Amino acid sequence: MIDVKAYIDEKLKEGTIHFSLLDPDPAKLTVDNAKIIAKRMQKAGTDGFLIGGSTGVTSESLSDIAIAVKEATGLPTIYFPSDVHAMTDEVDAMLFMSIVNSNNPKFITHYHAKAAPFIKMLGIQTIPMAYIIVEPGMTVGRVSEAKLVKKDDVETAAGFAIAAEFMGMKLVYLEAGSGADTPVPPEMVEVVKMNIDIPLIVGGGIRTPEAAAAAREAGADIIITGTFVEQCSDDSLLTAVVKAAKGI
């Protein structure tokens, strides 16, 4: 198993990190496809893989995709939690995330209390993370009953991020939602980054080198691309987005 937090801290010394997100919903991704995509993304320069989705994820699909990605690339695999019932120890770590702007306490701490004893038993590395969902929020915003942060409300986003750091979170994730038309505005990334000392993750709707570069230049420490990674078959474009995200 890879110590993912140490890996992130080490990689950040070199610059911005790019992680690829794979949705292990069997209706969307087969094991064979996951291997192909993972290899292609490794070649493009990605630093690791988040595995997770908002619907249709089971322990089996999660575990199958984690094993496939690990076998194909040897890069870190990180569970991006989907459902309290979907769990595997085949990942190197999981983002132990609280959806801090959810209106439903289940997504803030209650599901966590249900899952934590089992996670402890499995011995999975947990990385505490505040997840802040920004407009349009997409499926994850709806499913997790988030009170979406408005695109221009940088103060609210910064408030959640500062509070997260005060609460001991090790990462903050600004999420526009998978498949969002536009990513989290660079102005919001910039203000949030200015206000915290923990690494800032940005994702949702990033599918061009320009958008990836804008997020990095605004201060994103880790950039996530999901839909684009799964749908783009142009290797040079994949590489261009990863390079723009990493600034190399």
- Which residues of this protein are in contact with ligand 1GP, per CB under 6 A? 21, 175, 178-180, 203-206, 224-228
The residue nearest ligand 1GP at its CB is 203
CB 148 within 8 A of CB 138: no
CB-based contacts of 10: which residues, under 8 Å, 6+ apart?
Answer: none
CB of 178 to ligand 1GP, least distance (A): 3
Contact assessment for residue 174 and residue 192, using Cβ atoms and an 8 Å cutoff = yes
Contact yes or no for 49/37 (Cβ under 8 A)? no
Residue with Cβ nearer ligand 1GP (180 or 242): 180
| Dist CA 218 CA 190 (whole Å) | 5
Q: Between 158 and 203, whose beta carbon lies closer to ligand 1GP?
A: 203
CA distance 55 to 70: 23
Nearer to ligand 1GP (CB atom), residue 172 or residue 206: 206
Shortest Å, Cβ 226 to ligand 1GP: 3
User: Smallest distance from the beta carbon of 183 to ligand 1GP, in angstroms?
Assistant: 8
Could you give the dihedral angle defined by the CA atoms of residues 228, 7, 132 and 245, in that order, rounded to the nearest 10 degrees? -40
Least Å distance between CB 225 and ligand 1GP? 5
Q: Which residue lies nearer to ligand 1GP by CB, 24 or 121?
A: 24
